[in-house]
Chain A
């Protein structure tokens, strides 16, 4: 009940991000979501794609350092307070969010959040007990 996120090491220099997106577009890889965490000299780009194997192979072949991490993808109504409810559930259960980022899809009125926690199993149990079911990798392509 998780999705696979690809994280990529990029130098913090003009043009490096464009090089990266060029590689993906040249191979026809469509990104569902993207976020960047930056340090002074480098950044970590995290992406969500439908076909993880294909995208990671493309990136490795182009010489990038990647790592694949299982993260939670949560669907919610696109309305004020929806995110708060979910985060509150996790917070009350003592689950710490390391980072998260949002994306939308063609489904009207729905929003999605990628959430990285240390213990996926525990987070899934907590969410399920409140009636929230994280999305699986296979479900991504239907969004």
Chain B
């Protein structure tokens, strides 16, 4: 029997959802017109006033906003409420050192956590469950989001954060965790470690909620088999709220977008034209209930397909596929957003040539990133400790910029292949978007 966290919302009729969306969109447009100068300016430039937006059918009239806009308006430019009404920030890593900071009122935190609670209940979570959250806590939304959702469902919540596999497995066996929340690559790594330690029979997991990075169906089957669980995908982004913008149900045939809060559109990334169901394009979100940091037609750069087809689980909210690619060059490594331009900035600051290549791979189910840098006469000396010291300096600077360890490999000049025209900066050996 399928269970829902908020059945009246999750299984509402399409007419009802449409009604909510239109009403909330109208209010949100008025709200940003009154409180966020950038939106007002953009709407005026497009010849729009709030009266032009009467229902969701008018949504396509609004201009898009992009990550660049968020950076330009950093930190307070898009705030729609006074700062003293905000209770939280979360943040993503950003290019060239400038992060994206999202603000939340208590209402915003609650709606975000409700979305995560829907995902947990869809994965079979009840107040009888022990939910182990091994997403990172802190500025990253993974840990706080699922933690809040788990509280709302009433699970016993284990706020483990990421890393320390030994301790993760000990808590998992000692406290009998039944739901695991982490990145899919960490789930796969945990599964391996559990088998190596021979403690598989002490594991009581039944479900896993895995997101923040791309993963394949093969990886899902592998994790499900090794841990004896059902593995659910979850999607989200800090700009819109965090994990739980959409989530998978037991049908595992796409992720239901929480449409009462976030209106999804799929567009042609080149023309901006809205595409119908079934067509592949860039995902765009409008957050219609957020108070502090409402984003209107935010271009996620994730490529996916929407489907309004009736779902076996009974939920009526539109489903999106896993991201099938990106319309920019962002990489997701160990759940962290990495832009090649961030790496380039570090290399330039340290005086290295702009000839570099980023090699991303997945070794033993864990993402690795290697930055190959061509040696220059200025960087070289006869002393091994001096050259190794420069290498380490680069590793430290990359860690500070990206938030994750990236291996640095110094290579011969001209070792990195030059291609005609656009340089091949990234080699991603993971083939994650292969469907």
Contacts and interface: CB of A to CB of B under 8 A. Distances in A.
Interface of A: 5, 7, 9-11, 16, 37-39, 41-42, 44, 46, 63-67, 69, 98-99, 116
Nearest to B379: A65
Please report whether the interface of chain A is mostly helix, strand, loop or mixed according to DSSP: strand
Nearest to B391: A39
Contacts of A9: 375, 380, 387, 410, 412
B414 interface: yes
Contact of A46 (B382, B414, B415): B382
Contacts of B412: 9-11, 16, 63-65
B352 to A, nearest CB: 13
Task: Among A5, A42, A69, A99, find the residue whose CB has the most chain B CB atoms closer than 10 A.
Answer: A42
B411 A5 contact: no
A39 B375 contact: no
Interface of B: 375-377, 380-384, 387-388, 391, 409-415
Contacts of A99: 384
Contacts of B414: 63
Contacts of B411: 11, 42
B382 A65 contact: no
A67 B382 contact: yes
Residue of B375, B383, B409 with most partner-chain A CB within 10 A: B383
Nearest to B377: A65
A36 to B, nearest CB: 10
Interface centre among B381, B382, B409, B414 (most CB of A within 10 A): B382
Nearest to B408: A41
A10 B381 CA distance: 12
Nearest to B411: A11
Contact of B413 (A16, A41, A65): A65
Given A41-B410, A42-B410, A63-B414, 16 more contacts: A5-B382, A9-B375, A11-B410, A37-B384, A39-B387, A39-B388, A41-B409, A42-B387, A42-B411, A63-B412, A63-B413, A65-B380, A67-B380, A67-B382, A98-B383, A99-B384
Given A7-B380, A39-B387, A65 B375 contact: yes
B216 to A, nearest CB: 30
Given A7-B380, A67-B382, A116-B382, A44 B387 contact: yes
Contacts of A16: 412
